Structure 1
Amino acid sequence: MACSTRSTSPAGDEVSATTISAIHSDVLQTHILTRLDGPTLASATCVSSQLHSLSTQESLWRDICHATWPSMDNPRMSNLISTFPKGPRSFFSDSFPLLVSRPEPHHRPEQNPHPPSPTPELIFAVDIYHRKNLIFSKLHETETLTSWFRYSPFRIDLLEPKDVVSTPVQYPDGEESCSRLLEDVTLSWIVVDPAGRRAANLSSWRAVSVQRHWLSGEIQVMYASILAGDRRSSEFVQCGIVVTFGGCEGGEMQVREVSLLVEDMDGKNLTGEDSLVILQRALESRKGRKGRREEGRERYEEYVVMKRERKDRKLRREGRFHMMCMAFGVFVFAAFLVFVLFG
């Protein structure tokens, strides 16, 4: 398929026609393709064989990965990304879409009974933007074979308790400006399995909730992705990312906490071992890589409804059980009285 442009004279006569193939490849590669973002460049590969050849150049995709995720601009990550099946293009294909496991009521996702072999290390690349301006970027590496990781509650903290990162953003001075952070602050949290050459984005891109801490007054912005859980215990699990902002009204906003937790539908934090199995299955699954960035909040809202329904069912079951216990107790007491009075 060849793209062309035509111009006409005022009288309506055709003057000229230019096809994409008529443009020199150096002009396309240097002045046109370098201005495209990742999704547009991926679409360009389908236009013609010439554009496919030019649009799959590794240098183009490497620059796009670094521009999209500044945390990846690291010698180790550059070398690691080059080992993916198609280099930076494969990494972008893995990391740009959201991981989406669509929650459906009363549905248990099928799971492979044999868990994948644990990877010895996970790498997390995190970038936070405020109105498309980068305010936080960090690369974090975690060993996964230690006993401490396997049996402790899974939690990734990117900042030490006393560390703060200043930003040029003004601290919200009211609830209205605070609620605008839902749309203004976007986050990408990529998990990379170096051994398996796989990557996935665990963030919902835009926040799913914003609230002030009741005691400290700090602003907590939450992002989440919903993944298939362990069939034996929970249909789905939530990968919750919390970014805590501090500061004073009129001053600058500071990043004080960036953390990742994995919890089941009962609100229980999973261990590192259980979380690793779920993350590796998500990395291996191709079904979860088709989510649009707008879907993250929708899936979270569906998950919240499922959690509420699950809690209500559990309370009803417990209520019936308590009633049965009370009825049995009354029956035993009545039988005892009858035995004492008439026995």
Structure 2
Amino acid sequence: MVAGSSTPPPKPALCSYDTTVFDKNTTATISTVHPDIIETHILTRLDGPTLASASCASAQLRALASHEDLWTNICHSTWPSTTSQRLRHVISEFPNGSRSFFSDAFPLATRPASSRNSSENPDLPLELISAVDIYYKKELIFSKVVETETVTSWFKCSPFRVDLLDQKEAVSTRIPHPDTEDTCRDLEDDMELSWIIIDPTGKRAMNLSSQRPVSVHRHWLSGDVQVKFAAVVGGGSSGTATEVAQCGVVVTCGGSARGEMHVREVSLQVEDMDGMFLNGKDSLVILMRGLEGKRGKGKKREEERKKEFLEFLEKKERGRKRS
């Protein structure tokens, strides 16, 4: 600076950033966030129900939340069994791929497709696929996909039963062998199961599990623990009465030499109000009406399934006393 001059020195130059300034009276919205950030850093962190809710918020979110990869990853993380090559192919043929599969398999089936007479059978599939995942304390202990043909006379006339393990098979777990009834009842809080029935021809799916057990008991002689999961499915109507059936999944666990439980049996059967196990043909009718029926919103599904199971038992007991 020249001596005696009153002119102040120039200010040093500041780095310039490309910034966006919002008026204080303007409310920022999700549309101001770059789509790549929304898809990569936000939507990938959501579970299925939350992602579905987010897709209803705006047209932009609906488009971003419809990407197949998002729903494929959610299905795989929710149900590891869906990573099998066969199920990947089947799910890809659903109307909206993995999103359609999730919307079918996650919520409850609230009512059958119609109230037609039970003698009127819907079109029955040639095959059923079962996708089963069992967790203990949030850790996956068993996962399997089983394909069941439904066209033979033997299947149609025999009691319907889907077994995931052969008689000599057993799956080791970290579940401690229950020493007391209190420990046995703890399994109601620690074990979770998903059993998804899939009609590959009709491209529909339905979860038959209560997710958490509806009952747990230990056999007095063998010491094996039977953990039951159930779903009550409407079967239509007969006369003035509404028919329902119970789809029951039983997980049988036995002790090992190391003191831990082994899963020895995982099976599905369909039972009517008289306590009779239905044959293959009648079970298919029940399952198909459930597959084609309306779905719930998926909220409080565990409580609803447990309540429906208890109501089913009460109705069955009242019917037994009347007879």
Question: TM-score normalised to the size of structure 2?
Answer: 0.86
Superposition map of 1:262-281 within 5 A: 262-281=270-289
Q: What corresponds to 1:90 in structure 2?
A: 100
Residue number among 309, 312, 317 corresponding to 1:303 in the alignment? 312
Listed one character per residue, the Cα deviations across residues 27-66 of structure 1 (whole Å, up to 9, x for unaligned) are 1111111111000000000111111111111110011001
Match of 1:237, SS? Answer: strand
1:115 equivalent in structure 2: 121
How many angstroms apart in 1 are the aligned matches of 2:308 and 2:222? 30
Q: What's the CA shift for 1:24?
A: 1.1
Post-superposition shift, 1:169? Answer: 2.5
Question: Aligned equivalents of 1:251 and 1:157: distance in 2?
Answer: 25
Find out whether 1:138 has 2:144 as its counterpart. yes
Mapped to 2, the partners of 1:290 and 1:255 lie a distance apart of 32
Task: Point out where structure 2 has 5 or more consecutive residues left out of the alignment.
Answer: 1-23
Identical aligned residues as a percent: 55
Q: CA deviation at 1:231?
A: 4.0
C-alpha offsets along residues 254-291 of structure 1, whole Å, 9 cap, x if unaligned?
Answer: 111000011111111110011011111111112x5445
- The structure with the greater share of residues assigned to helix is 1
Give the counterpart letter for 2:142 in structure 1: F
CA offsets, 1:123-182, max 9 Å, x none?
000001112211110000000001111111101110001100011232223211110111
Say if 2:188 and 2:216, in contact at 8 Å, map to a contact too.
yes
Contact 2:104 / 2:206 at 8 angstroms: preserved in 1? yes
Q: 2:309 and 2:281 mapped to 1: Cα distance?
A: 24
Normalising by structure 1, we get a TM-score of 0.81
Which of the residues 292, 310, 313 maps onto 2:322?
313
Give ranges in structure 1 of 5+ residues lacking alignment: 1-13, 103-108, 315-343
Aligned partner of 2:67 in structure 1 is 57
How well do the aligned residues superpose, as a CA RMSD in angstroms? Answer: 2.2
Distance 1:170 1:188 in 2: 22
State the match for 1:184 in structure 2: 190
**CA spacing shift, 1:230–1:19, aligned 2, 3 Å:** closer
After superposing on structure 2, the runs of 4+ consecutive aligned residues of structure 1 that deviate more than 3 Å are: 14-18, 229-234, 288-292
| Contact persistence 2:254–2:262 (CA under 8 A) | yes
Matching of residue 252 in structure 1 with residue 260 in structure 2: yes
Q: Deviations over 1:47-106 (max 9, x none)?
A: 11111111111110011001100001012211211111111111000000123459xxxx
Write the letter of the residue equivalent to 1:176.
D
User: 2:163 & 2:296 partners in 1: Cα distance?
Assistant: 25
